Amino acid sequence: MAEKKPYYLFYVILVGPKNSGNVGAVARAMMNFDVENLYLVNPCELDTVCYARAMHATKILDNAKIFTCFDDAIKNLDYLVATSSIESKTDKRHLRNPLLLEDFSEKIVDVQGKIGLVFGREDYGLFNEEIAACDIMLKIPTSESYPSLNLSHAVTVVLYSMYLRKASIPKRRRPMGSLEKHKLYEFFGQLLDAVDYPPHKKEHTKIMFKRIMGRAMPSKWEFHTLMGVFSKTLGKIKRKETKK
Amino acid sequence: MAEKKPYYLFYVILVGPKNSGNVGAVARAMMNFDVENLYLVNPCELDTVCYARAMHATKILDNAKIFTCFDDAIKNLDYLVATSSIESKTDKRHLRNPLLLEDFSEKIVDVQGKIGLVFGREDYGLFNEEIAACDIMLKIPTSESYPSLNLSHAVTVVLYSMYLRKASIPKRRRPMGSLEKHKLYEFFGQLLDAVDYPPHKKEHTKIMFKRIMGRAMPSKWEFHTLMGVFSKTLGKIKRKETKK
């Protein structure tokens, strides 16, 4: 039994859902694909319409955690996945540079810990700062003429895709956890500071690094190796500076 | 361009939908995945709720064909795919013996013609005679504890799965068409008659054959070969009978 259990646990996070029927439909889809944890950030009222649409999944609604602040909702999760139908054609491309859903679900079997699947508002999706807080950005392949999925449809497709992979979980390496991840990002930020990176480019570059790591999903071993490199680099820079 | 165009065209057929919001949500999902043709058999009224849920896909609702009889809806389609969340544990197993969605979408690239994706009522699904009329039965992998998907979620998952395959269509063989298929089934029926197959088992066995062929999706060449075998077999039986 313990062997078969996945090392990851999904959390569905709806940010600012406005339509209570959608929230209910999401709960039903979660139960259809064995996902239990629902986090709601500033949601609409979970009214009778919501409960009716949830059908047999009312327990998921009863147990949903409600937050008033996005940062509170995500702080205990190890890995954050943003979803959006909007792809960037501007200079924010690193922010919204997406990974295709199928490529992600193939990789997800390697991840350990609490994985937050973040879905935005029905009308505006996720804000840039919310996307920036996520490790990767996911794109569900859809029609170019009408890419925007209904909220509960988007959740359904993502959960279905993950559910398919669960059946055949290969031998797993130990990927880095939440603390390690933040250390790695922090070190990279320190490195940018240390090399006098142009301040106005810094944020984008940090996000780009986050995205690359997000897609790469480094193992614990790789994390330590990376940190070693950063640490050596930083050490070198600082030593040179004190020599001057 | 012509090279890239798939040889198949999807038709979404909703049988007896009761919830107008679901019908609208299905139309939206269809447009999200570039499917245009909606057939409705004895649907609920397509009211303002339906049109609101369709969002930008109202044209699909406007162009939907409405039928009062299931047989009329399917008669011009080449290949029929039933969906159901119910798997049989009774003697009707041939009827509901399903193919998993992913296995089907991998094969669908080989099919030519008009493909009807048939979805049943929100409460009762498809009746046995409707499932029997279809070439194959599709199963969307879902939780054992709550397998029943919302209607528009089921359509979304099926269309998403098909949409993914369309991107990379391999070299295609020419599968048998509607007429050939019916000839093959008819010949098989004749064969059962010719061998004095127990009458009470005949219907189930015919459906089983239909299912096997449905999963196998024979090419035109395979069809002719099969027909040759049947023809030779039937000829042999009849010659023996006249000799007696």
| ipTM of predicted assembly, 2 dp | 0.74
Burial profile B66-82: b = 16 or more Cβ within 10 angstroms, e = fewer: ebeebeebbeebbbbbb
Q: Which residues of B touch A150 (CB under 8 A)?
A: 25, 28-29, 53, 55, 152
Separation of CA A21 from chain center: 24
pLDDT tens digit sequence for A77-104: 988 899 876 554 443 445 556 777 887 7
Is B1's Cβ below 8 Å from some Cβ in A? no
Give the one of B28, B29, B146 whose C-beta lies nearest to A32's C-beta: B146
- H helices present in B148-198, as ranges: 151-166, 178-194
The answer to whether the beta carbons of residues B115 and B6 sit under 8 Å apart is no
pLDDT tens digit sequence for B113-168: 899 999 999 988 999 899 888 888 888 989 988 999 999 999 999 999 999 877 54
Parts of chain A with a pLDDT under 50: 1-4, 88-93, 168-172
Q: Which of B46, B199, B176, B169 is nearest to B113 (CA)?
A: B176
Interface of B with A in 73-132 (CB under 8 A): 102
- When the candidates are 3.40.1280.10, 2.40.50.140, 1.10.580.10, 3.40.47.10, the CATH number that belongs to B8-166 is 3.40.1280.10
Dist CA A177 CA A114 (whole Å): 9
pLDDT tens digit sequence for A114-127: 899 999 999 889 99
Q: Which helix (H) or strand (E) holds A180?
A: helix A178-194
The pLDDT value given to residue A4: 46
Instruction: Give the start-to-end residue ranges of the domains of chain B.
Output: 8-166, 178-243
Dist CA A87 CA B127 (whole Å): 43
- Kindly state the DSSP code that residue A234 receives in the 8-state scheme: H
For B150, other C-beta atoms within 10 Å of its C-beta total 23
B161 to chain A, minimum CA–CA distance in Å?
9
This prediction's pTM = 0.77
